[in-house]
Amino acid sequence: MDVEVLEDKKNTLLSRREVRFKVAFQGPTPGRKDVRGKVVAILNSDNELTVLDRLDSDFGAQTAVGYVKVYADKKAMSVEPEYKMKRNFPALKDDKAEAKPEGEAKPKEGQ
């Protein structure tokens, strides 16, 4: 898998670096985790502060174009929607599932 950086800009308002990249691969489209790991290595960024926003591939092409955001700190990451955080950090799914109390569903009033 080869990664080529297409655009790299700094967004000082949101304390992050925004990078557009192109991935060339053989066989099936690589998973988000693999692509994210490769981009983190190439950008020399912190794994916990890097969010893969999107990865788009064309039908039949052995390439995909992606967009990743590298934040300055955890506080700056608070602007990310919860579903994107769950996609990038699977451990968050497990934490949320354990946090829910295991009680019975309460019936609605009047039933």
Tens-level pLDDT at each residue, the chain (111 residues): 899 999 999 999 999 999 999 999 999 889 999 999 999 999 999 999 999 999 999 888 999 999 999 999 999 999 999 999 999 988 866 655 555 555 555 556 655
Give the C-alpha separation, 50 to 16, whole Å: 9
pTM of the model: 0.76
In a domain, 19, yes or no: yes
Residue 99: predicted pLDDT: 54
Which residue segment(s) compose the domain that 43 sits in?
2-99
In a domain, 6, yes or no: yes
In a domain, 105, yes or no: no
Residue 111: predicted pLDDT: 56
In total, how many domains does the chain have? 1
In a domain, 53, yes or no: yes
In a domain, 18, yes or no: yes
What Rg value do the Cα atoms of the chain yield, rounded?
A: 18
In a domain, 107, yes or no: no
Residue 106: predicted pLDDT: 56
CATH code of residue 38 = 3.30.70.330
Tell me which long-range contacts 26-33 makes (C-beta under 8 A, separation of at least 24). Answer: 26/62, 29/55, 29/57, 29/64, 30/1, 32/87, 32/88
In a domain, 52, yes or no: yes
In a domain, 81, yes or no: yes
Strands in 63-71's sheet, in edge-to-edge order, are 2-11, 16-24, 63-71, 50-57
